[in-house]
Chain A
Amino acid sequence: MRPFEHLTVQAADEAIQALAGGDGGNTRLIAGGTDLLPLLKDGLVNPGRLIDIKPARALRHLTFDADGSLRIGALTTLAEIERSSQLAERLPLLRQSVVDAATPQLRAMATVGGNLLQRSRCWYFRGPFDCWLKGGTVCYMRDGENKYAAIFDQGPCRSAHPSDLAPALVALDATVSISGPAGSRTTPVAEFLAPPTNDERVEYRLRPDEMVTEIRIPAEAIAGHGVYLKAMDRRAWAFALVGAAAQVTILDGKVARARLVFSAVANVPWRATAAEALLVGQTLTPDLAAQAADAAIAGASPLAHNGYKVPLARELARRAILAAANLWTETN
């Protein structure tokens, strides 16, 4: 780890000011640090200055507004989402998405804002390889040890998005509030997270002088019911092999709104719109769920070692759709 300057701010506007003087990414914000510290130690980022924003208490809250929508401050920890009895009751999908994320120690530090900004877990990205995502020319994952790779092709990089929370937020039509020197803007999480491109080799769209301040979830999404199912290769402290977030609203016996979003199958959370379309307007049955699950994986192009993710994604999708409608039992 290279030496760096460290300072502390008390509020978002102070952080924006400090970023403005930070010349082209040399200044980075640090909150929980659960991803930034490993990146620093591995030399993947080398900022000259770190600004600690943890004391900005105003960014740490979970608030249900009068209109039924939810606002989550960017510094809210995953542990706070996990412990919220209000969320457990009104938005089980969101709570479920974090309970198997990382470990209790990491969840106590990790923040919602940081979760959306975490970098790829691809071992070619993290390890001593000059991979495309780090500015090289080759995605080593494509022909290499790719059991954890994406099964949907979104561009030059084959790394799979690691977040459990992000697919849940996409399934809830969440938006992210961003502050910068020119003021604030709001963008859907589904657009904020975007596959890396030649010009922007990163999985999110945030300028170096901006910061994430809040997540908002609209009331219409909260009205439904949902689950997050996560397959892991051990029973704790593992990134998803595949995760499936489903949020379904049923009105008069028919599906009125459906969202199905995967983690770990693409560069960013993968929304299975074809599956959603099959469900809307229909009575949800096990057969329909199976058809939707088939549709959800259409177009997958697995590599040499991640073919298992296709049936795994299909199965988790089927179970998640049924569970969101309280139709899943051990014998389905």
Chain B
Amino acid sequence: MPIRIVTTHLEFEGQVEEVRVVLEGEEPPAWGPDTPFQVVGKPTARVDARERVTGAAEYSYDVQLPGMLTAAGLRSPHPHARISRLDASSALAVPGVRAVYSHLNAGDFINPSSGKPVFGNELLYHGDLVALVVAETPEQAREATRAIDVAYEPLPFVTAPDAALAANAPMVNTAVPSNTISDEYPQVYQRGDVEAALAQAEVTIETRMETPAALHNSLETHGGAASWDGSRLTVWSSTQGVFGARQQAAAALGLPMTAVQVITQYMGGGFGSKLGVHRSGLLAAYASRQLGLPVKYMLDRTEENLDAGNRPPSVQAYRLGAAKDGTLAALDLAVIHNVGANGLWSSPVALPAKELYQCANVRTTDRAARTNLGTLAAFRAPGVVEGIAGLEVAIDALATELGMDSLELRRKNFAERYQLLDRPYARKMLLDCYRIGAERIGWETRDAEERRYPGGRSGHLRRGIGMASQLWGGDGGPPAQAIAKLLPDGTAVIITGTQDIGTGTRTVLAQIAAEELGYPLERVRVELGETAHGVFSPMSGGSMTLASVGPAVRMAAVEARKELTEVIGQLAEAPADALDIRNATVFNRETGAEMGGVSTYLEQLGGHEITAKGMRGPNAEDVTVRTFGAQFAEVEVDIGTGAVRVVRIVAVHDCGRIINPLTYSSQIEGGIIQGLGFALTEQRIVDERLGMVMNPNLGDYKAPTIRDIPQIDIVLLNEPNVVANTLGVLGAGEPPIIPTPGAIANAVGHALGKTVTRLPLTPDRVLDMLSTTTERS
């Protein structure tokens, strides 16, 4: 196949980067709107459903090798402290304990992601790693952490971002002279003249939104199992990216990448916090190499909630100016990020303000504070969930000020083009999403007396309806590779280096291959989650897996089928282009004759397996690919108790062609439930006096339960986006969480006639809102 090196552009969570990729051969033409399908688009149960529900599926947590040791971490009980003494002798005397690692004996072990030692003697936050015990059983390891004799010298600390950025603030890390991320902060984006436009605007409003730190609480905690055999390292890592994990593990241990294999067959949730191998996985690898035995280190729930990242708190201040007819004239946003002790980046909270509405005068200012708290991690649409909540609540407040319907205000300020680069969108179905969602939720009757007051005006229930918009990338891109092998027995194997992080990747890739091969789904096996195959795929993040890997799988299947018909044509003395394959059976398209199963021919090849490569082609240039959508929420508030019940959510998202309506719906439901938690119940609580996290567990950190989940009404648009890639798909991982908190906040605002300024809307906050905030009309 002809080989080319191509430069293209890839967007990942608001950042566009240029990439050079190697391409072999040509991608097939895109599936059009009228392409007929046998497997694609059909609701299909997960191909690994049985393993998952019976417990047969082996997660990293489940890996158990002969002689395997277990590690447990000792965590800092201070927000900022220096270790003044550490004596592990009592811990080493606990039966079964093999090693205790700390800065004293493992200070030269460097985390390649940060370039810093994994064990330091300055602890930067509650939950920072003090020492690691490795023992024969988990119980011994955990117990021995208590036997380590440590003396801490407490240091001044700061947890509030504005305090951290103030003059004379305590240094979060005494080795770093500033509490901001870098001298690139504050980051300012502007177009037009915001101050002049605000001064001239007929109507102006100011709103504020404070969002909490949310913890991922992946059901499978971070970590991994590692086995060093003297020359090669194998890591079973709970990761969203096996290739990235391999690179980190190799760098950390000073090994060539070829000496490291990473395996992730099943993964219990990551939501962005598992984009690498995590230092828990690195520690398992380090200990295995030191001790010459397999070692597993999976965080316990407390460690997970202190040291596995978070959606960082944001404080957003908006100033909007508009003409009386609703035309948006100015949008000013100032954000303060709290990125934790070691944050290297801040989330794109300001992305929606820059892009969602047509506005000539926009300024966004991002300030980022490091604090003595756990470091941020990507969390399902990082920044944009928070930013949409802030912006869409501000838009509702503006609509109230203008006396306009808020949906009408949004339509009036619809942005036709991508304003940051002044170029077109590949497609923007946002107005369709508005229309369909409004119809489903009954937007027209949202102010009707009987709807707003289910028990009458003297009753204690108030209902409200609110909505919020969604925008996101999700078009993926190269490099992503796949191999298709057609075996003599009439089955096919698809090999890719992606991983199924719980979204159903195995299933949708099998559907795509089955479709193009003309094989039934059960004859296609997808192998993924292993670096050993060398078939590179990107990490599963940024809603890019299907849109990146899917086209590569499709191309591999198309190429394999070409070879298959060629081979059959020669064996059967029939023209290859007259051959059709359906249900793994060969037909002569011209005569209609059935010519037997594919294995009849493949078995004649002396063990030869047809093998074909596929790869994701470059992205379209000069156009911005986006998914857009909207969610509408109906809530019921008990004004006597402050309890908010979400009654119903209508979700309308343009995610291109839907390969599998079942796994798509799972994504939408999961995103909405996670977003509902962010809106109503979830928050990391910090005692600011002590700098300590009060609720690093699943009891006090309140994720939604089944009873909190409303009726969820999912609209399948299923319109292929033929500009995006040859499948016409867009990612669906992140879009569904993006508008949920904003829609719920606006629904509560509508129910109470007030503007929401803080999330989550717990009963105490709602009762406070009812007693303090001034009413709006």
Contact = CB atoms under 8 A, between A and B. Distances in A.
Given A145-B685, A233-B762, A236-B708, A315 B702 contact: no
Interface in B691-729: 692, 694-695, 699-700, 702, 704-708
B210 to A, nearest CB: 15
Interface in A316-332: 316, 319, 329-332
A181 B341 CA distance: 56
B459 A330 contact: yes
A43 interface: yes
A236 B706 contact: yes
Interface in A263-317: 305-309, 311-312, 315-316
A164 to B, nearest CB: 15
Given A123-B694, A123-B700, A145-B694, A231 B763 contact: yes
A281 to B, nearest CB: 27
A207 interface: no
A330 B455 contact: yes
Contacts, number: 88
A143 interface: yes
Nearest to B300: A41
Contacts of A127: 692, 694
A241 B704 contact: no
Contact of B146 (A43, A145, A315, A332): A43
Contact of A1 (B143, B640, B700, B763): B143
A92 to B, nearest CB: 20
Contact of A312 (B680, B689, B695, B763): B763
B454 A1 contact: no
B154 to A, nearest CB: 14
B493 interface: no
Chain A: interface secondary structure? loop
A330 B681 CA distance: 25
Contact of B764 (A234, A305, A316, A332): A305
Contacts of B706: 236
Given A233-B681, A234-B702, A331-B458, A312 B642 contact: yes
Nearest to B142: A1
B643 interface: yes
Contact of B460 (A3, A128, A307, A330): A330
Nearest to B770: A311
B763 A140 contact: no
A257 interface: no
Nearest to A122: B694
Contacts of A329: 455
A308 B764 contact: yes
Given A1-B139, A123-B694, A234-B680, A143 B764 contact: no
A330 B680 contact: no
B146 A234 contact: no
A123 B767 contact: no
Given A144-B689, A316-B641, A308 B763 contact: yes
Interface residues on B, range: 35 or more
B151 to A, nearest CB: 16
A55 B694 CA distance: 37
Contacts of A307: 768
B456 interface: yes
B771 interface: yes
B143 A331 contact: no
Interface string B745-777: 000000000000000001110011001000000
B709 to A, nearest CB: 9
A30 B656 CA distance: 57
Contacts of B461: 330
Contacts of A128: 77, 692
B645 interface: yes
A241 B705 contact: no
A119 interface: no
Contact of B763 (A2, A144, A233, A330): A233
A144 B690 contact: yes
A258 B640 CA distance: 23
A237 B699 CA distance: 8
B573 interface: no
A147 B700 CA distance: 12
Interface in A139-162: 140, 143-145, 147
B34 interface: no
A238 interface: yes
Contacts of A238: 702
Contacts of A2: 143
B456 A235 contact: no
A185 B77 CA distance: 44
Given A123-B694, A241-B764, A319-B640, A235 B708 contact: yes
8 closest residue pairs by CB, A with B: A330-B455, A235-B707, A308-B764, A315-B640, A236-B705, A308-B767, A236-B707, A331-B459
22 contacts: A2-B143, A43-B146, A123-B694, A123-B700, A140-B690, A145-B694, A231-B641, A231-B763, A233-B702, A233-B762, A233-B763, A234-B681, A234-B702, A235-B645, A235-B705, A236-B708, A237-B705, A308-B763, A311-B767, A319-B640, A329-B455, A330-B459
Interface of A: 1-3, 43, 123-124, 127-129, 140, 143-145, 147, 231-238, 241, 305-309, 311-312, 315-316, 319, 329-332
